[in-house]
Structure 1
Amino acid sequence: MNVHEKKILQKRPGWCKIVISTLIPCILGIFTIIFTLQQQQLSKQQQDQQHWHQLDSQRQQSFTTYIDDISEYLTQSSGIDPVTNKTSLLYIRTKTLTVLRTLDVERKKYVVLFLYESGLIRDSRLDLSGADLNYVQLIGPYILNNLTLPGVFWSNATFVNCHLKNAIFDRSVMNNAHFIRSTLESASLVEAALNNTDFTGTTVIYVNFTGALLIEANFLKAEVVQGITFTNSDLFGAHFTTEQYNGQRVTIVRNTFDHARLPNGTFGKIDATIRTLQELR
């Protein structure tokens, strides 16, 4: 080993100390950054959770106040039937539309059930057109005969084990709705938007779909599809069995497809006397 190599070996311990002394602050700095980021993330999660609890508390307060106010109003309207009085219905409509804007879908469901049990959304009494009921699920069993909610926004609705005889959803937007193991009998969905709606296990009989949008609607697994009015409706891409399309089951109760766009893109027979809901007003 020559003199030059000896000098290099003698210098190595010094370089090691320099490297180690440099690495230690770097490692500490990295751990400090990681710890700080973790603390910030934890703090954000805690803040988000606290905010959610505050928001949920506010929603519950709004819901409770609404139910109490309307219940009291219904019982204390001396000499006036609030279910039929126009001034009372306007007051309830305003309160209802206001509270629905603040509630989550679960509490919106209970608002709907409360109004139904109070007799306010049966037989075209309380006008809730424009109400946001998107994603609200009614998972029964529920008997909701004469449920009247025309003109509402109820996309992604779910009805499970619901009896909806004589229900009215005219002009409502109900795309991607699911009617599962339910009964839709003698109901009216005139000019409603029901694209991609599913009717699995549901009895659909004597329903008025005049002018409705039923693009890609799925009737394949429906229990019964008979006596339906599809006049002027758009059924492009809708799914039927041959028996369903012809209204066949034990007996035959034919469906009406006058002037409708059929699943294959062709049109049903044109009747010049057919008018839309708008024209009938």
Structure 2
Amino acid sequence: MFRVRRRRKLVPPISYPYLKRKSKHQSRCITWINIALGALIPMMIGVGTIIIAIVNQNIEDKRRQQDQDLAYLTRLQDQQLADALYYQGVYKTYIEDISNILFKLNNSFIDIEKKMKYIRTKTLTALDELDWQHRSRLFLFLYETGLLSSSNTTNISLDLSGANFVNISISSTKRKKFHFNKLKLLSVDLTNASFIDCQFDQGADFSDSLMVDAKFTQSTFKCSKTYFVYTDPMGEIHIHFDRSNLERSDFTDTYLCDASFIGTNLASSTLSGITFQGWIKFQRTNLTEMELMTCLPCSKHKTHAPKQLRATIKSSFGVFKFIEQDGGYNQTQKFRDLKKSIRVHLTINLHIWCTKEEQKEKEEADDFMRKNEKAGYNIGRIALFCIRTGLGGLKFVETINLIDLCGGTVGNYRHSRYIYDRLRDVMAEEMKLKITEYLARMDPVLQHPVPFGITFDKVTLLKRSIQTTVLITFVDGVLTPIYLQSPLCKTELSGKELADK
């Protein structure tokens, strides 16, 4: 066997200077590490301090911003409250001043003309200082006092040219319907004004007025005469928008009759669902960029018309598109064709049939409302009669049937005796509540309940009248008997004898 012999590597001897240099280098590294570690702690403390300061500054800035926002909102609310009080003060002062001038006889005006000039000055000044809500109220006040009508009792109309009626809003509701008779508003500013579901009777004059973005949605401009058929002669024009600026105005679902638009700017206006009748006059009218105009009766009823009327009619029947027309030049051929098409449309049998159906629908709706209101009154009277006479639910139903047989209006709703019972219970609870509120009144000075008295003459039980000898009260769980020394009423005595005793 052979054995492998490995040679050992010989390491050269390390000299002492080399070891000394290495030791010195290591000690230098340790020194720098100690210095770095010593500097790192203050640096971390400094960085942490800076970060905390920045965070605190951000929190303080947010808090300051919140305080500023809260202060701004407070100032804004205070300003709004101050403005509201100011507007209310101006409006109240104006109403009191004008009311004293109109309704008090001992005023210092020599003639009516000077009085109207004074009212004009006060009105224009007040309108410039009020907001849109108080302007709307002031507008209604002027109309209700007859100052906006062209036929007032003084025969001298109020000149409101230049009046600021910007943003006023007059909207009818189910309980309040606004009717304006012979309204006269010449050369006024009605920018963004709204007349929603209003009715203008016996004419209206808006000539030379600024009415940009005005709204007459679902309003009705009545005719100067009654038109029975379309062959009737035209009436007189009594609705005037002459020379007014009605740019971007809205006449959606409006009924317009006997109206004049001479020199009117109707650019970009909306006439969807508008109904024209009578004499409509367009001369030098700007009708650029307008939307479609639809005949409302035809759009609602043309699909239900007889076949012989719909045989040659297109689906676009009753829809017209306005043609651009410059108000400063003569009418173009396209615009004249549009007016001719509208005139022809008014004479077509289908349009006449649709108009009659629309009239029938309105009459049926009005008749239904009248009958429903009358039926409600009758049912209420029957219920009150049964309650006062002590009748029950079956007698209530029998009375309704009797009224129905006699031709009275009671509606088609099934009024059973259970409805009568519920009505009687609700009425009793309401009476108890009212009596309790009356008896629980407090004297505002003494802060004690107000004393009250109870009066009754006799008690009827099982159809027999008896005299009352004792009265028992039950207050806060305590029974208190009160004995009566003498009967309250002696039926065997006459009225004179009762008065003597």
- What whole-Å deviation, never above 9, does each CA across 1:213-256 have from its counterpart, x for those lacking one? 11122212213365211122222223343769xxxx99xxxxxx
Give the distance between the partners of 2:83 and 2:217, measured in 1 at CA.
32
Partner of 2:354: none
Give the distance between the partners of 1:26 and 1:269, measured in 2 at CA.
74
- Matching of residue 109 in structure 1 with residue 136 in structure 2: yes
Partner of 2:97: 69
Residue 269 of structure 1 deviates from its aligned partner by: 7.3
> Relative to 1, partners in 2 of residues 1:65 and 1:15: Cα closer, same or farther, differing over 3 Å?
same
Give the distance between the partners of 2:252 and 2:277, measured in 1 at CA.
11
Give the distance between the partners of 1:26 and 1:157, measured in 2 at CA.
54
Partner of 1:268: 331
**Retained in 2: the 8 A contact 1:189–1:209?**
yes
Gaps of 5+ in 2: 1-25, 152-156, 223-237, 303-321, 334-501
Residue 11 of structure 1 deviates from its aligned partner by: 3.2
**Retained in 2: the 8 A contact 1:200–1:223?**
no
TM-score where L is the length of structure 2: 0.47
Residue 153 of structure 1 deviates from its aligned partner by: 0.4
Alignment partner of 1:229: what SS? Answer: strand
- Matching of residue 199 in structure 1 with residue 255 in structure 2: no
- Over alpha carbons, which structure has the higher Rg? 2
Question: 1:172-183 to 2 correspondence within 5 Å?
Answer: 172-183=209-220
Gaps of 5+ in 1: 251-261, 271-281
**Retained in 1: the 8 A contact 2:272–2:294?**
no
Give the distance between the partners of 1:241 and 1:133, measured in 2 at CA.
28
Question: 1:33-72 to 2 correspondence within 5 Å?
Answer: 33-72=61-100
Give the distance between the partners of 2:114 and 2:47, measured in 1 at CA.
84
Q: Which has the higher contact order (CA 8 A, sep 6+)?
A: 1
Give the distance between the partners of 2:280 and 2:98, measured in 1 at CA.
38
Give the distance between the partners of 2:145 and 2:242, measured in 1 at CA.
25
- Matching of residue 161 in structure 1 with residue 197 in structure 2: yes
- Amino acid aligned to 2:184: T
Aligned length: 254
**Equivalent of residue 20 in structure 1, options 33, 40, 48:** 48
Give the distance between the partners of 2:258 and 2:90, measured in 1 at CA.
39
Partner of 2:188: 152
- What whole-Å deviation, never above 9, does each CA across 1:1-29 have from its counterpart, x for those lacking one? 95133443343222211212233333222
> Relative to 1, partners in 2 of residues 1:220 and 1:26: Cα closer, same or farther, differing over 3 Å?
closer
Greater Cα offset, 220-229 or 149-158: 220-229
Partner of 2:168: 136
Identity over aligned pairs, percent: 27
- What whole-Å deviation, never above 9, does each CA across 1:104-140 have from its counterpart, x for those lacking one? 1111011111111101110071111101111111101
- Amino acid aligned to 1:147: L
Partner of 1:93: 120
Residue 32 of structure 1 deviates from its aligned partner by: 2.0
